[in-house]
Amino acid sequence: MRQLTHKLKDGSLDVLEVPEPLLEAGQVLVRNHFSVISGGTEGSTVSTARKSYVGKAKERPQQFKQVVDSLRTKGPVQTYRAVMKKLDAHSPLGYSSAGEVVEVGPGVNEFAPGDLVACAGAGYANHAEFVAVPVNLCVKLPEGARLERAAYNTVGAIAMQGVRQAELNLGESCVVIGLGLIGQLACLLLRASGVRVIGVDIDEGVLGIAREHCVEAAFLASDPLLADAVNEATDGIGADAVVIAAASKSEGPVNLAGSLIRKRGKVVILGRVPTDYDFECYYKKELDLRMSCSYGPGRYDPDYEEGGCDYPASYVRWTEKRNMVAFQELLHSSKVDLDYLTTHTFDLDEAPRAYDLILKDDEPHLGIVIRYDTGTPLERERVVVRTEPVEGKIGVAFIGAGSYAMGSLLPNVKGDDVALRTVMTAHGTSSRSVADRYGFESCTSEPDDIWKSESVNTVFVTTRHDTHARYVLEALRSGKNVFVEKPLTLTAEELEEVSGLYRELAARGEAPALMVGFNRRFSPLTAALKERFREGPMAMVYRVNAGAMDKDHWMQMPDVGGGRIIGEACHFIDYLTFLNGSLPVEVSASVMEEPDHLEDTVNMSLRFANGSIGVVSYLANGSSALPKEYVEVHRGGQSGVLSDYKELQLFSRGKPRRERLVSQNKGQPEMMKAFLDSLREGGAAPIPFDEIHAVMLATFRAVESFRARRTIRVTD
């Protein structure tokens, strides 16, 4: 399919051939007929991308701080890779569209192929021929709905939420400051609800359009008699509410609102403006200053938007989806007529011109619509990126290729005998970005392109945790070597399924290589530590200052990430297992009680088969100024201290021995070399499967232990 993309590096725009999006549970696949460009949001995104690096840093200070922090903790190489991954990626644009459902994912009951729908959501309702959209970001349209109108779905819901925040009644008055696309939509909705609407803007041209279509009166913001005019238009009362739909770096709109509104009125921030208001004005009038959050309740809640969990109408009357439904009903009944808003229509191939029009601002514009050719059938095919064939004994495919894969794995998939065959991610733009950046032959959204490929013999699985077991099982059944990021599986039941299949294949001499990304055991400083202490009974402490993670992060979701102990702490159980040279046999864990019940501040005490003992302290409540990882090992009068994979100190008699690296090395390059070398030599994977199985089982037992509050044997 074709999709409009841009690059954060230079703001260049392209209509690229990319794979169709991967249709997941709870989603619908929609063929777009029309999509609407948000001149404010999308224009700002492209404008920022076209600035210099200094300009980008000024526009995005939070991201710049993250880069500085990464330089301090991870060093220049990893930071450079992470930054360039973002800058060079083909990023999607668009978040408001309408079209026809062509396929529904598992668990979807309210939609069927052939339904006309309106879609919303950045990253979902993109400017692309096909989009995969979660059910709570998609609304069914009545028969005969005009899709060009319906494509205003998202911007209409944003305007509606702003109007709802004003809480106006029939016959009351509202001033709308900023009469761009969102502002005019807000005026149309206010007028349809029986409110007297007054418009204010800095452009006489849009004031004229508003006077003709959506307001009773309209004035320039610079008019010195503006306050008197609003007072007269409201019978001497002043506006009951002001909705600020402008975008400005000045506090002017907020203070202007304060001068136009009556006492105890409501000022609603719908646009992006500073809120450094005139205290005296707001205080004396006892004004109510409110924010309007995008499309409405449910926005930025992954359980609602991605998980499909609705809010009961008796408790939350107007969610973002119900706002969209209400907006579409107003359009279909012609109670709101927005046809005049569409000032320009472009075919998809011409879409880059639309952004030039927005940024140059040398031609009047409001609503800009992209039109799609809907005559060709849907065909899921690999997108060939590189036509010349590449020979290689190790034919590699990647399923998933996020920040970690691009920063730490793909740069280390090296060798004249390695051929990068295909990459599959959930979104076509990311698949194409990875394929272009690393030289894959093709990109796809169809797993069978990997499982049935004779040229692919090795698969890297770096997706979210809930898909690991499924892809590992498919790889093993297809006879392909598989490297999977931790954890191997999300549940003990999945672990036993993978284990049963692997051991069955191994008994027949048909088992491919199976590797889990426990990279820390491959660090050069780990090698030095292991050489000093060898194997045998030892006492070990691993402190992980993991830091807080938002409860809405996907890793915290039990069915997706499994929580941080299963999702990440398995790393550290593996490390202690490797250091002492025997398998864990018993675990006792305790969790710190806290309000969100995230279970991510945990102490795990482990006993191993050779008599070694170890403690993993996984802490989510520490200071970010403290280095993340710290290991102590004690045996036979000797001690070792490893600090954040940068420095190792070995203590015995006499002066301590110290090794220090220029930058942190957690072992990813060495791990990838060891795995690829094992494939070249036809030997076993670098980590024995018995260790992988025991580590994962001990991780599941640790969670069971702190929930049951008792010590648990790893194996019965």
Q: 249-290, pLDDT tens digit by residue?
A: 899 999 999 999 999 999 999 999 999 899 999 999 999 999
Instruction: Check residue 59 and give its pLDDT.
Output: 65
Q: 608-665, pLDDT tens digit by residue?
A: 999 999 999 999 999 989 999 999 999 999 999 999 999 999 999 888 899 999 989 9
Token readout for 487 is 């954890």
DSSP string, 346-411: EEGGGHHHHHHHHHH--S--SEEEEE----SPP----EE---S----SEEEEEE---HHIIIIIGG
Helix (H) or strand (E) holding 212: helix 204-213
The ranges of the chain annotated as CATH 3.90.180.10 are 2-151+338-371
Token readout for 628 is 């993340």
| CA angle centred on 86, ends 83 and 90, rounded to 5° | 150
**Using 50, 70 and 90 to split pLDDT, how confident is the model at 197?**
very high
Among 495, 481, 486, residue whose Cα is nearest residue 690:
495
Among 482, 685, 712, 698, residue whose Cα is nearest residue 580:
698
Mean pLDDT of 404-432: 92
Q: Using the structure block, give the residue that is written with the tokens 């305790």.
A: 590
Contacts of 131 (CB under 8 A, 6+ apart): 21, 29, 30, 32, 97, 99, 119, 124, 125
Among 526, 522, 521, residue whose Cα is nearest residue 648:
526
DSSP string, 87-118: HHSEEE---EEEEEEEEE-TT--S--TT-EEE
Residue 74 has pLDDT above 80, yes or no: no
Instruction: Check residue 311 and give its pLDDT.
Output: 96
Q: Using the structure block, give the residue that is written with the tokens 């409201």.
A: 234
Q: What is the 3-state secondary structure (H, E, C) of 17-36?
A: ECCCCCCCCCEEEEEEEEEE
Contacts of 436 (CB under 8 A, 6+ apart): 90, 385
Among 311, 322, 271, residue whose Cα is nearest residue 293:
271
Instruction: Answer for the pair 178, 246: CB distance below 8 angstroms, yes or no.
Output: yes
Strand order in the sheet with 2-7: 13-17, 2-7, 90-92
- Secondary structure percentages of the chain, helix, strand, coil, to 5: 35, 25, 40
**For residue 224, how many other CB atoms are within 10 A of its CB?**
7
| 3-state SS assignment for residue 708 | helix
**Pairing state between β 261-269 and 288-291:** parallel
The ranges of the chain annotated as CATH 3.40.50.720 are 155-291, 390-514
Name the average pLDDT for the chain: 93
Strand partners, 130: 31
How far is it, in rounded angstroms, from Cα 609 to Cα 635? Answer: 16
Instruction: Check residue 413 and give its pLDDT.
Output: 95
Among 409, 490, 486, 495, residue whose Cα is nearest residue 687:
486
- Tell me which of 480-484, 504-508, 531-535, 626-630 is least confident: 531-535
Residue 390 has pLDDT above 80, yes or no: no
Residue 215 has pLDDT above 90, yes or no: yes
Residue 82 has pLDDT above 90, yes or no: no
Residue 467 has pLDDT above 70, yes or no: yes
Among 208, 183, 354, 207, residue whose Cα is nearest residue 269:
183
Helix (H) or strand (E) holding 481: strand 481-484
Token readout for 570 is 């398995």
Query: Which overall architecture, per CATH, does domain 519-713 show?
Result: 2-Layer Sandwich (3.30)
**Using 50, 70 and 90 to split pLDDT, how confident is the model at 85?**
low
| CA angle centred on 42, ends 40 and 45, rounded to 5° | 105
Among 25, 31, 49, residue whose Cα is nearest residue 126:
31
**Using 50, 70 and 90 to split pLDDT, how confident is the model at 588?**
very high
Mean pLDDT of 561-584: 96
How far is it, in rounded angstroms, from Cα 43 to Cα 37? Answer: 9
**Using 50, 70 and 90 to split pLDDT, how confident is the model at 596?**
confident
Contacts of 118 (CB under 8 A, 6+ apart): 97, 98, 138, 139, 141, 150, 151, 153, 324, 328
CATH topology of domain 390-514: Rossmann fold (3.40.50)
Q: Report the predicted TM-score, pTM, of the whole model to 2 decimal places.
A: 0.87
Q: Can you point out the beta strands (E) in 221-272? A: 239-244, 261-269
Instruction: Check residue 544 and give its pLDDT.
Output: 97
How far is it, in rounded angstroms, from Cα 433 to Cα 422? Answer: 12
Which option is the CATH number for 155-291: 3.40.50.720, 3.30.572.10, 3.40.50.450, 3.40.309.10? 3.40.50.720
Q: How far is CA 190 from the centre of its chain?
A: 34
Contacts of 361 (CB under 8 A, 6+ apart): none
CATH class of the region 2-151+338-371: alpha beta
Q: What is the dihedral of CA 432, 406, 412, 77, to 10 degrees?
A: 130
How far is it, in rounded angstroms, from Cα 479 to Cα 335? Answer: 61
Mean pLDDT of 524-528: 96
How far is it, in rounded angstroms, from Cα 157 to Cα 185? Answer: 9
Residue 63 has pLDDT above 80, yes or no: no
Mean pLDDT of 541-568: 94
The dihedrals phi and psi of 265, each to the nearest 5 degrees, come to -80, 175
